[in-house]
Amino acid sequence: MPRYTDTAQINTMYNDKTFEMGYFASGMGLDPALGSNIFQCGVQVAVGYCNKQADELAVKALGSADRKVRAPSYQQISKILNQELPKIWLFWEVRPLAFNKRIVGLSEHWLQQPLLVFNIPVYQEIEKWYVK
52-61 and 67-84 helices, crossing angle to 10°:
160
Domain of residue 47: give its range. Answer: 7-84
Instruction: Pick 19 or 108 by higher pLDDT.
Output: 19
Domain at 57, CATH number: 3.10.105.10
User: Mean pLDDT score of the chain, rounded to an integer?
Assistant: 79
Residue 18, pLDDT > 60, answer yes
**Residue 109 sits in the same domain as residue 55:** no
For residue 79, being part of any structural domain is answered with yes
| pTM of the model as a whole | 0.60
Distance CA 8, CA 59 (A): 30
Q: What is the pLDDT of residues 65-124, one digit of tens each?
A: 999 999 999 999 999 999 998 877 776 666 666 678 888 877 676 666 555 544 555 566
Domain-embedded: residue 91: no
Are 18 and 50 in the same domain?
yes
